[in-house]
Homo-oligomer: A and B are copies of this chain.
Amino acid sequence: MRNFDQNTITEAVLERIANTPDPRIHEISAALVRHLHNFVREVRPTQAEWEQGIAFLTATGHMCTDTRQEFILLSDTLGVSMLVDAINHDHQAAVTESTVLGPFYVEGPPELPSGADISGDLTGEPMFVTGSVTTADGTPLAGAIVDVWHSDEDGYYDVQHTGEEAGIVARARFRTDEAGRFRFWSIKPAAYPIPHDGPVGKMLEAQGRHPWRPAHVHFMIEAPGHDKLVTHVFENGDPYLDSDAVFGVKDSLIRDFARFDAGTAPDGRVMEQRWCHLDYDFQLNPASSGAARAA
């Protein structure tokens, strides 16, 4: 096989990978080659534009560290993450909708007792979070793992801090009680721009887009016999609900963060300042059989 032109090259690559042993790898490889070549044939990049593309991907890779995932940001901002989410979670009305994982989840957060305050040294408006985890028909799921993480009042996650500020904060794991309930204290998260000091930030700027996400709390919930749920709860009234930089907002995931004056909170804690209360009941799908829902 030699002497390829801009049409025959695609068939040549497809022939070359025709003997891929794993059928799924073959399927994905062949689709990648076809769609990628169609993209290139449509935009007809100059050699200089191809070099810019290579440089963009390289810079994106170099931006990735243990605590910064620039390719996830790229996937998120191009709508790919929400597309993959939609493909894997055709919404069933009775269960909680999912949304993007985002780049700030950290494996193995510390497990804390129910009611713990996870805000550490952070300042901000105290936030009481309560909720339940049930099956689609409302049966409580006891012992479900509830991972939570969110930004501080300046819009930063713990992993974005370095040096003396570093440490796990506004991030923890809880387990539901016999009634399927969990609760914890923290501080109210803020709307924030996704990290935009790297290649993805340059892309957003070139596309005339802002990098902001509406304020939200992340939840990842697991219970035996059920699909893992990855979602957020967004703050009602946030100005970025309709222009989330990563396209993650769904109406069913918006809640009031109800404001209360100083006084006694439902768990008996005496509050000397205004605080807010977020309550959300999560319903999980029964475990799906196929790989299409595997997490």
Q: Please judge, given known A-B contacts A41-B87, A58-B71, A71-B54, whether A82 and B1 are in contact too, CB under 8 Å.
A: no
Tell whether, in the assembled complex, residue A54 and residue B37 are in contact, meaning their CB atoms are under 8 Å apart: no
Determine if A86 and B46 form an interchain contact, defined as CB atoms under 8 angstroms apart: no
In the complex, what residues of B have CB within 8 A of residue A269's CB? none
A209 within 8 A of B: yes
Q: Contact between A17 and B83 (Cβ–Cβ < 8 Å)?
A: no
Pick from B4, B42, B49: contact of A86, CB under 8 Å: B4
Closest beta carbon of chain B to A151's beta carbon, Å: 20
- Main secondary structure on A side of the interface with B: helix
Given the known inter-chain contacts A29-B207, A84-B50, A293-B46, please indicate yes or no for A2 contacting B251, CB distance below 8 A: yes
Contacts A2-B241, A61-B64 given: A31-B20 contact, CB under 8 Å? no
Is A273 part of the contact surface with B, judged by Cβ < 8 Å?
no
* A61–chain B nearest beta-carbon distance, Å: 1
Instruction: Categorize the interface residue count of chain A.
Output: 35 or more
Q: List CB contacts (< 8 Å) of A55-69 with chain B.
A: 57-58, 60-62, 64, 69
* Chain B residues, CB < 8 A from A208: 17, 19-21
Sorted nearest first, the 7 A-B pairs with minimum C-beta distance are A61-B61, A13-B79, A35-B39, A6-B86, A2-B249, A19-B208, A17-B207
* Residues of A participating in the B interface, judged by any CB pair closer than 8 Å: 1-6, 9-10, 12-13, 16-17, 19-22, 25-29, 31-33, 35-50, 54, 57-58, 60-62, 64, 69, 71-72, 75, 78-88, 91, 203, 206-209, 241-244, 247, 249-251, 291-295
- A/B interface sample: 20 pairs, CB < 8 A: A2-B241, A2-B251, A4-B247, A6-B87, A9-B86, A17-B209, A20-B207, A26-B207, A31-B43, A37-B80, A41-B83, A45-B84, A46-B294, A47-B84, A48-B294, A50-B75, A54-B72, A58-B69, A61-B62, A61-B71
